[in-house]
Homo-oligomer: A and B are copies of this chain.
Amino acid sequence: MNDFVFCSPTKFVLGKGAVDKTGAEMAAAGFGKVLLVYGQGSVVRSGVLDRVKASLEAAGVPYVEAGGARPNPEVCWVRDAIAVARENQVEGVLAVGGGSVIDAAKATAFGVPYEGDVWDFFANKQPIGECLPIAAVLTIPAAGSEASASCVISCDAENRKLGASGDVFRPKLAIMDPEVTFTLPAYQTAAGVTDMIAHICERYFSGVGAVPVTDNIATGLVCALMDAAPRVLEQPDDYDARATIMWAGTLAHNDIAGCGRSLNPTARAGGWESHALEHELSAHHPEITHGAGLAVVMPAWMRYVWRTNPERFLDFAADVFGIEPVEEEYCPRDEAVEDAVTAAIDELQAFFRSLGMPATLADFGLTPDDIDPLLETLRASKGEPFGAFQKLTMEDARAIYLSMF
């Protein structure tokens, strides 16, 4: 077990009717006037936003609104929201939505006390010292932003999608009401579950050997997700399965599934290779949903790198799929290991497909000619080589992208 620092201070309020407790919980947590951040209308149409507003009003928590944050939120929106927050002298930020809305709110929260341009935190990795307190009402379980130290923002002018990180902007409060996710479209549900499994796998395949406590939590989360996801696709109002997905999505990304797996005690575990490869896809092709992109990228990455540490993939194969290598007279150890690892990756990809996720880049209408622009921004974003499980050059990245056709 490598040294680690772990602090997930968020207060989680999960349950039926949690949305209506937002105001009381905000008041109890000491929030003053807040910027109420939301997206492009689904929380308006579902009535969730009105319930949140009513509970804020009942609890005497004043708010000003900043709606219209889009999926893959854009830095121009954040700049406008920062201006609104400053004009109205808000003291905190409340996001109502999924990961994109929460990330837009986070960027606003650490952009307000900063004198320069908020994009500095992403493009120039300016360290984040100060931040307004953040709360979130989660309506789309996927990104885990309700508890994570992560924030991802896009800049359309530069065709880039970049992350910032810092414990300082972990939300103080997360309101999690599984009932508001009953109406999530199947595709979005599936993409969310894929993203969660990717968050767990990025940490699991981090270039560090077995860490039993953390590994058992990680595979336990994957198993719970693989059991729950088909049930909600069949029965969208299966409360227990929806709650399982919501809570597993939080734990997939609050770093409990990474403790002791990092090479740097204060940094997130893992090299985040699949996320890096996917971020280029959705930066250049914003119609690609992040989770759907990951469903294509992650198995391809796994097939490319597993030989670097077969034991790690065998642990995953055994604990998630019950697959063990079978040595026989005509099947020596090496082949048995390859068969077991390949079978596990096949199973994972088959699971994503069973949820309606794509399996190739061609499914998104891309061709191999689209790869070069991805590599150009990938090199700028991640440097070369990048990754923790196995160092990847741009030629490796090209080969992985090519294998997705």
- Enumerate chain A interface residues (CB-CB to B < 8 A): 1-16, 18, 178, 212-213, 216-217, 219-221, 223-224, 227-228, 239-240, 243-244, 247-248, 251, 256, 259-260, 265
A224 to B218 Cα, complex, angstroms: 13
A2-B15, A14-B260, A216-B220 are known; give 14 further A-B pairs, CB within 8 A: A1-B244, A5-B12, A5-B13, A6-B11, A6-B12, A7-B9, A8-B8, A12-B259, A212-B224, A213-B220, A213-B247, A216-B216, A220-B220, A243-B260
Residues of chain B contacted by A178 (CB below 8 angstroms):
1
A221 touches B227 (CB 8 A): no
Residues of chain B contacted by A224 (CB below 8 angstroms):
212-213, 216
A129 to B5 Cα, complex, angstroms: 29
A3 touches B14 (CB 8 A): yes
Nearest B residue (CB) for A241: B212
Query: Would you list 13 pairs from A and B whose C-beta atoms are within 8 A, ordered by A residue?
Result: A2-B15, A5-B12, A5-B13, A9-B11, A13-B265, A15-B265, A213-B247, A216-B220, A216-B221, A217-B220, A217-B221, A243-B260, A247-B259
Nearest B residue (CB) for A13: B5
Query: Which of B11, B15, B221 is close to A213, meaning CB atoms less than 8 Å apart?
Result: B221
Residues of chain B contacted by A259 (CB below 8 angstroms):
12, 14, 247
A259 to B15 Cα, complex, angstroms: 11
Count of chain copies: 2
Query: Which of B1, B7, B216 is close to A223, meaning CB atoms less than 8 Å apart?
Result: B216
Shortest beta-carbon distance from A305 to chain B in Å:
24
Residues of chain B contacted by A227 (CB below 8 angstroms):
212
Q: Could you say which of A2, A216, A240 has the most chain B C-beta atoms within 10 Å of its C-beta?
A: A216
B7 touches A11 (CB 8 A): yes
Residues of chain B contacted by A260 (CB below 8 angstroms):
14, 243, 247
B5 touches A11 (CB 8 A): yes
Nearest B residue (CB) for A227: B212
A254 to B162 Cα, complex, angstroms: 34
Query: Which of B4, B7, B15, B212 is close to A3, meaning CB atoms less than 8 Å apart?
Result: B15
Residues of chain B contacted by A219 (CB below 8 angstroms):
220
A18 to B5 Cα, complex, angstroms: 10
Query: Which of B5, B12, B16, B213 is close to A251, meaning CB atoms less than 8 Å apart?
Result: B213
Shortest beta-carbon distance from A192 to chain B in Å:
15
Residues of chain B contacted by A2 (CB below 8 angstroms):
15
Residues of chain B contacted by A14 (CB below 8 angstroms):
1, 3-6, 259-260
A213 to B257 Cα, complex, angstroms: 12
Residues of chain B contacted by A216 (CB below 8 angstroms):
216-217, 220-221, 223-224
Residues of chain B contacted by A12 (CB below 8 angstroms):
4-7, 259
Shortest beta-carbon distance from A222 to chain B in Å:
9
Residues of chain B contacted by A251 (CB below 8 angstroms):
213
A18 touches B6 (CB 8 A): no
B213 touches A1 (CB 8 A): no
A251 to B213 Cα, complex, angstroms: 9
A251 to B257 Cα, complex, angstroms: 12
The 5 closest A-B pairs by CB, nearest first: A3-B15, A216-B220, A9-B9, A7-B11, A1-B243
Residues of chain B contacted by A212 (CB below 8 angstroms):
223-224, 227-228, 244
Residues of chain B contacted by A243 (CB below 8 angstroms):
1, 260
Shortest beta-carbon distance from A120 to chain B in Å:
24
Query: Which of B9, B244, B256 is close to A256, meaning CB atoms less than 8 Å apart?
Result: B256
Q: Could you say which of A6, A7, A10, A212 has the most chain B C-beta atoms within 10 Å of its C-beta?
A: A212
A265 to B175 Cα, complex, angstroms: 13
